[in-house]
């Protein structure tokens, strides 16, 4: 049966055996209206169905499009905007038709029409060896999640460093502070009539005031050292270093028993939140980053990285001429 004018015949892929609406192997000719129209009366080829932002979202399962987040933050990654001419071999990156040049975003795969450059600085777009491809897919997700964990480590660093420095400064000026504190307690007693010595706050301050300086220096040094570890983790995670993932995992795992013990003593929302966050970080690093050889380890990680971000990923998401929909030359309605 010949397709009607304005409908699309998608060339079937002989390797594919699926029968979905978007697949060319299904007889999508004529009777059916075009699925996922591009606005020009032409259906998308099957390869474009999984591109970022084109999937239909499920109501209760929102999906983060990491590529679109990247383009929202940094703009589209376009190549050849300053080139005077476009060659056939550049079809992955840029195409020219009817006085318009279509640039492909190397991150989110959007094709964007722009006017030709008025004063191009290069004759052709750069070759593959000159282009650094942006991260996509899982690799991009991992970057963003690692940076979120790095920000969490930065918060730890700031709080712990403040505590460590505060305790050391307190130890240095302990004698002076003890005198000031006792004077404050005396004035409080003379004005109010009593000092709530059993009160948790005053009890802790009194204990700290009379603690040995050596003990305070030890506490201050321990907090400072722990802050430094968190700072190193933050830098390493931000730069996506494998050693930082291991360091973070080990540090969080070692502190987990202490957090559970603290939670057993007193339950607070803050402690519950910290425990849940740390368990989530552990699980994510172990599962998604395949630490300690889990799920194939770093070897599988590298393969997935290459698959998601290399030129092969771009080629798989490119409508090449042999796979483009064809517009029928003859109408069945005369």
Taking the complex as a whole, the smallest distance from the CB of residue 169 to Zn ion amounts, in Å, to 49
Taking the complex as a whole, the smallest distance from the CB of residue 150 to Zn ion amounts, in Å, to 24
Which range, of 88-96, 100-108, 135-143, 183-191, touches Zn ion by CB under 5 A?
100-108
Taking the complex as a whole, the smallest distance from the CB of residue 279 to Zn ion amounts, in Å, to 34
Q: Where are the beta strands (DSSP E) in the chain?
A: 94-97, 100-104, 111-115
End-to-end CA distance of the chain: 15
CB 282 within 8 A of CB 249: yes
Q: Does 140 help bind Zn ion (rule: CB under 5 A)?
A: no
Taking the complex as a whole, the smallest distance from the CB of residue 202 to Zn ion amounts, in Å, to 59
CB 309 within 8 A of CB 143: no
Q: 10 Å Cβ neighbour count for 65? A: 19
Q: Which is nearer to Zn ion, 65 or 290 (CB)?
A: 65
In the block, which residue shows the tokens 């722990």?
226
Binding to Zn ion in span 59-78, by CB under 5 A: 71, 76
3-class DSSP state of 37: strand
Tokens standing for residue 251:
């540090």
* Sheet of strand 100-104, all strands in order from the earlier edge strand to the far edge: 94-97, 100-104, 111-115
The residue length of the chain stands at 334
- When binding is defined by CB under 5 A, the residue of 10, 83, 108, 247 that contacts Zn ion is 108
Q: CB under 8 Å to 283, separation ≥6 — which residues?
A: none
Q: Which is nearer to Zn ion, 76 or 305 (CB)?
A: 76
Q: Which is nearer to Zn ion, 105 or 140 (CB)?
A: 105
Taking the complex as a whole, the smallest distance from the CB of residue 278 to Zn ion amounts, in Å, to 34
Taking the complex as a whole, the smallest distance from the CB of residue 52 to Zn ion amounts, in Å, to 8
Q: Does 106 help bind Zn ion (rule: CB under 5 A)?
A: no
Q: Which is nearer to Zn ion, 25 or 81 (CB)?
A: 81
- When binding is defined by CB under 5 A, the residue of 86, 105, 171, 252 that contacts Zn ion is 105
Taking the complex as a whole, the smallest distance from the CB of residue 256 to Zn ion amounts, in Å, to 40
Query: What letters, b where the CB count within 10 A reaches 16 and e where it falls short, cover 241-259?
Result: eeebbebbbebbeeeeeeb
# chain residues binding Zn ion, by CB under 5 A: 5
Q: What angle do CA 330, 333, 334 make, to 5 degrees?
A: 85
- When binding is defined by CB under 5 A, the residue of 65, 101, 104, 107 that contacts Zn ion is 107
CB 238 within 8 A of CB 150: yes
Q: Does 167 help bind Zn ion (rule: CB under 5 A)?
A: no
Q: Which is nearer to Zn ion, 41 or 113 (CB)?
A: 113
Q: Which is nearer to Zn ion, 71 or 146 (CB)?
A: 71
Q: Which is nearer to Zn ion, 65 or 156 (CB)?
A: 65
Residues that bind Zn ion (CB under 5 A): 71, 76, 105, 107-108
């Amino acid at each position: 049966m010949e397709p009607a004018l304005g409908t699309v015949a998608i060339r079937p892929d002989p390797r594919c055996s699926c029968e979905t609406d978007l697949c060319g192997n299904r007889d999508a000719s004529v009777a059916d209206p075009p699925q996922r129209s591009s606005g020009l009366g032409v259906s998308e080829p099957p390869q474009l169905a999984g591109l970022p932002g084109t999937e239909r979202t499920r109501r209760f399962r929102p999906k983060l499009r990491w590529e679109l987040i990247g383009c929202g933050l940094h703009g589209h990654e376009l190549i050849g905007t300053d080139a005077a001419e476009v060659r056939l071999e550049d079809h992955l990156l840029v195409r020219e038709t009817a006085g318009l040049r279509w640039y492909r975003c190397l991150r989110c795969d959007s094709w964007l029409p722009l006017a030709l450059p008025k004063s191009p600085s290069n004759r052709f777009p750069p070759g593959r060896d000159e282009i650094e491809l942006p991260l996509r897919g899982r690799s991009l997700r991992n970057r963003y999640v690692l940076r979120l964990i790095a920000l969490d480590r930065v918060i730890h660093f700031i709080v712990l460093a403040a505590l460590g420095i505060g305790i050391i400064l307190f130890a240095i000026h302990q004698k002076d502070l003890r005198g000031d504190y006792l004077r404050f307690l005396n004035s409080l007693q003379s004005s109010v009539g009593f000092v709530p010595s059993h009160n948790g706050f005053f009890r802790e301050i009194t204990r700290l005031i009379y603690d040995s300086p050596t003990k305070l220096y030890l506490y201050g040094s321990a907090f400072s050292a722990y802050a430094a570890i968190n700072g190193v983790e933050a830098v390493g995670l931000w730069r996506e270093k494998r050693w930082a993932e291991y360091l973070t995992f080990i540090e969080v795992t070692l502190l987990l028993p202490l957090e559970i013990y603290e939670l057993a003593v007193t339950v607070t929302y803050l402690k519950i939140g910290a425990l849940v966050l740390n368990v989530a970080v552990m699980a994510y690093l172990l599962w998604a980053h395949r630490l300690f050889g889990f799920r194939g380890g770093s070897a599988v990680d590298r393969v997935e990285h290459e698959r998601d971000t290399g030129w092969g990923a771009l080629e798989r998401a490119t409508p090449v001429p042999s796979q483009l929909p064809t517009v029928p030359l003859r109408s069945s309605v005369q």
